[in-house]
Amino acid sequence: MTESSLAGSPVAEEVRRKILAEISSGALAPGQRLTSERELARQLGVSRATLRHALGSLVQAGILRRVAGRSGGTFVAHAKVERDLTHVDGLPAYLQRQGFSAGSRVLATALVQADDATRTALALPEDALVHDIVRVRLADGSPISLDHARFPVDLFPDLLEQPLGGSLYELLDQVYDVRPAVSDELIEVVAATPREAQVLDVARDAPLLSVTRVTRDSNGRRFEFSHDLFRADRTRISVSSAGRGLRANASTDGNVVELRACG
């Protein structure tokens, strides 16, 4: 069997899913070293070549990582940050609840005229001005997302004079008495550009989760239009859906911080 056929074989995919299931269940913990390839292949009842291809796909996805040298091997990657799409909350709150240290670096701020997309998203007149804020968000000191947010100047006249390193939602609540009530989001998978790859410390063309969001307050007033790029290797999306008298939980099992409004 050729390498290309091994990579896409049902056996290799079955092995990949078994390892994913052990990680999801906690049987394999973040940072844990996998047993030797020889032993793992024996346990799973597959050839070492098939195992290597299954492991390789998980390494490429950021779920496993390889370390060279005598004390090296294949390890489960760092824990994912869970974000719940059912609730509107800031990223720092999610990180802190899960034991991560939250941080931000402000890359750029500006007072600009709203472009067409921003005017449409926020229902603004043609000559409207918005605050434009670009930040990189950190989990335990490592980049996890690149956030680009726009806020109407009419609602937040001196926003850029405020400290922007923490949760913007907390800031808007404390200073302007504005709180998020509803968030509409569009989520897509995109490839990292050279600049995005550099900022997020990933390879060029690495998968990113693109989240375009419009947030409204309890009066239905649109106050945020943003575009966030999350590292796909550190992001999990979960959703709680209501059925006929039942509530069901659904989550992706791919490369996985969990997403929602991220102020």
* Confidence label for 106 from pLDDT (cuts 50, 70 and 90): very high
pLDDT for res 123: 96
* Confidence label for 51 from pLDDT (cuts 50, 70 and 90): very high
Tell me the C-alpha distance between 151 and 169, whole Å. 12
Closest by alpha carbon to 141, among 253, 255, 32, 234?
Answer: 234
Tell me the C-alpha distance between 124 and 117, whole Å. 10
pLDDT for res 90: 62
For the chain, what are the domain ranges?
A: 3-76, 81-251
Task: Decide if 3-76 and 81-251 have a common fold.
Answer: no
Q: What is the DSSP string of 7-72?
A: HT-HHHHHHHHHHHHHHHHTSS-TTPBPPPHHHHHHHHTS-HHHHHHHHHHHHHTTSEEEE-STT-
Closest by alpha carbon to 93, among 137, 142, 150, 136?
Answer: 137
Tokens representing 129? Answer: 């001005």
Pick the CATH number of 81-251 from 3.40.1410.10, 3.40.50.10320, 3.90.280.10, 2.40.110.10: 3.40.1410.10
CATH 2.40.50.140 fits 3-76, yes or no: no
The stretch 237-244 carries a mean pLDDT of 67
Tell me the C-alpha distance between 35 and 50, whole Å. 16
**pLDDT tens figures, 141-198:** 788 899 999 999 999 999 999 999 988 999 999 999 999 999 898 989 999 999 999 9
The stretch 8-28 carries a mean pLDDT of 86
- Asked if 62 and 77 count as a contact pair (C-beta separation under 8 A), the reply is yes
Ranked by mean pLDDT, the top range of 1-15, 94-108, 197-211, 240-254 is 197-211
pLDDT for res 249: 43
**pLDDT tens figures, 203-212:** 888 889 899 9
Asked whether the predicted pLDDT for residue 4 surpasses 60, the reply is no
Tell me the C-alpha distance between 201 and 204, whole Å. 9
What separation in angstroms does the CA of 205 have from each of 17, 81, 123, 152, 191? 24, 22, 34, 33, 4
